[in-house]
Amino acid sequence: MPVYIDSFNAPYRGMIMCHMIADTTEELLSMADKIGVKRKWIQDAGTCYEHFDVCLSMKKKAIQAGAIEVDRKGYCKVLWSKPGNPYYKKEQ
């Protein structure tokens, strides 16, 4: 099960940021460890919306480590496939 990086690319404090999500917490934290993102920076921990905001240099490292870049539609599809999300749609 992969880790995903969206194409949000929003400006924040002089950086461009995007979201890193995964199917499971373990996958998300493992990728954070691989690319040097501190675990304490996780947002919405323990929910179906848990993610990291990462800058473009971390995005590049994550993609090199196997993360899949997705557009907004792909990002939503991943979120909607997670139990606990009000829009949960189990893959058929």
pLDDT in tens, 61-77: 999 999 999 999 999 88
pLDDT at 52 over 90: yes
Tell me what pLDDT residue 51 has.
97
Tell me what pLDDT residue 91 has.
57
pTM (whole model) above 0.85: yes
> Across residues 1-12, what is the average pLDDT?
91
Q: Rounded CA gap, 68 and 85, in Å?
A: 21
